[in-house]
Structure 1
Amino acid sequence: MPASTAVDPVAAARAAEALGYDFVSTSDHPSGTDPSHESWTMLAWMAAHTERIGVMPRVLGVPYRRPAMVAKMAETLDRLSGGRLILGLGGGSSDEEFRAFGIDVPSPRDKVDGLAEAIEIIRGLWTGPATTYTGRIHHVAAAPMEPKPDRRIPIWLGTFGPRALDVTGRLADGWMPSLGYASLEALPAMRDRVLAAAERAGRSPEDITCALNVEVRAGDDTADRLRALVAMGFTVLNLKVPGPGRDEQVERLALEVLPQLR
């Protein structure tokens, strides 16, 4: 879902819910010249006006928000929405946005290390009585947080580089790259690296949801194209529908294409 203010987020979420979609998602790019909504606020607004559909940031740039506050925000949204949050996290792709908002630009290594540390802190706050964590980038000191989540809130990462893919397999519940940021030809090897990292960490590869963010329009070959992505191991497809005619496309995909895949 675009974060543009030209789109009514509640109407879009309600329409997606009525059409049987599993979740709606939004990107996290607070700086820019195109009018947009802040992603977390918009997701909360959509969740408050729907009943079933899941909500997901695709993905929160970790440098924008302290991990401990993200843990609190996520627990609250998941609780108030009845357990409908997927917490998407990423290292932050746009250095220009960081500069514009007065945020120090992390190096590529700092982005990956900061992402891993953020997950450790968030999970610690969600599960422990008080969390102390001293990382190279982030830290908390004997931090209590109540209430704890009623369930294991899934954390999915939008990652691409080798070290970031290793972090995904080691710590995350899901992997959601974007087709275009990674080529179709590169995806199988990247997925293999995520699953291999999970195995090295003593985890089952089956515990990692492999999702793909893909731009699509309904057409004669759409079902075949998406079926090929499922055959590659992507069991969740996050469909980005470009305008114009977005509403019609969303409906056509739900009624004509997705029944062929489910």
Structure 2
Amino acid sequence: MSPISFGLDLPASLTPEGPVALARAAEDLGFDFVSASDHPAGTDPSYETWTMLAFVAAGTGRIGIATRVLGVPYRPPAMVAKMAETLDRLSGGRLVLGLGGGASDDEFRQLGLHVPTPREKVVGLEEAVAVIRGLWSQKDFTYTGTLFRTENATVEPKPERRIPIWFGTFGPRALELTGRVADGWIPSLGYAPAEELPRMRRRVLDAAERAGRDPSTITTALNLDLDDGLDRLEDLIAQGFTTLNFKVAPGPDRAERIERLATEVLPPLRG
């Protein structure tokens, strides 16, 4: 059986404690990774995700760093490949590169970006991974896709390890793609109804098997709110989810709630 791992969400909003302090607390409490979502537009003051996580990586020593998930349309995939290699190298191999098609069409409009169709979001996700992995592994890499391309591109250095790529996906075509090319799947409870999770997870793993991959090598993770998910943790683990990533709402008692989660709730689940 795969070991269970636990993450803690770092809100991109400007909180009193700050993301580095929260990540250090998570590290001290034994969480396996911290994560952050990617929503650059909006009225609430917030940090840019990649810059924030770079500061978090510099301010911690052990804990993993995950994007949950970067919206592919916001950044050229070739640059994401370079960014990810740098952050993974400088952090000592702690990055999980989470990618998604981009959930908020309104954000694309606000930032003057093309609003992709649902099909374009899936195509863009597939092509982004082809570009990123191609640049990580090949010299003079040329790729011609529908949305992205490279021409005799060489990006050095190459990663020192296989940086895991997780997808935050939901629709049937996107789930099939996840099983074919991703190292992990990390949807959010709420976007994915609890009763549908086993079927969606099975779709990912079946697609992996059809692609000649070992389904057991694919991490199946889940984002969930602490207030909405504690009563179902054992069921989620029994369904095969090996990674749970907790979002804890802001409030004066957030530090205490996180500590209780880490010291009282999670240790029996690891066992």
Distance 2:80 2:152 in 1: 17
Rounded to whole Å, the distance in 2 between the matches of 1:206 and 1:243 is 35
Runs of 4+ in 1 over 4 A off after TM superposition: none
Q: CA RMSD in A?
A: 1.1
**Structure 2 letter corresponding to 1:17:** E
Structure 1, gaps ≥5 residues long: none
1:54 equivalenced with 2:64 (yes/no): yes
The one-letter code of the counterpart of 1:255 is: T
2:249 is matched with 242
Question: Conserved in 2, the CA contact under 8 Å of 1:59 and 1:88?
Answer: yes
TM-score, normalised to structure 2, is 0.94
Three-state SS of the structure 2 residue aligned to 1:86 is: strand
Q: Pick from 4, 15, 19: which aligns with 1:6? A: 15
Q: How far 1:243 sits from its partner (Å)?
A: 2.2
- Within the candidate set 146, 161, 179, 1:136 is matched to 146
Structure 2 counterparts to residues 189-228 of structure 1, below 5 A: 189-217=199-227, 222=230, 225-228=232-235
Q: Unmatched 5+ residue regions in structure 2?
A: 1-9
Aligned AA for 2:21? A
> Relative contact order (alpha carbons < 8 A, sep ≥ 6): 1 or 2 greater?
2
Aligned-partner SS, 1:214: strand
User: SS of 1:181's equivalent?
Assistant: coil
2:27 to 17, 23, 28: 17
Q: Give the letter for the 2:14 counterpart.
A: T
- The Cα of 1:200 is off from its aligned counterpart by 1.1
C-alpha distance in structure 2 between counterparts of 1:100 and 1:248, whole Å: 37
Deviates more, 1:245-254 or 1:38-47: 245-254
Aligned to 1:4, the other structure's residue is in SS state coil
Q: CA deviation at 1:217?
A: 3.7
The 5 A counterparts of 1:75-90 are 75-90=85-100
Identical residues among aligned pairs (%): 67
Assess if the C-alpha contact under 8 Å between 1:217 and 1:249 holds in 2.
Answer: no
Question: What letter corresponds to residue 230 of structure 1 in structure 2?
Answer: I
Aligned positions of 1:102-117 closer than 5 A: 102-117=112-127
Counterpart position of 1:170: 180
Aligned partner letter, 1:92: G
Aligned residues: 259
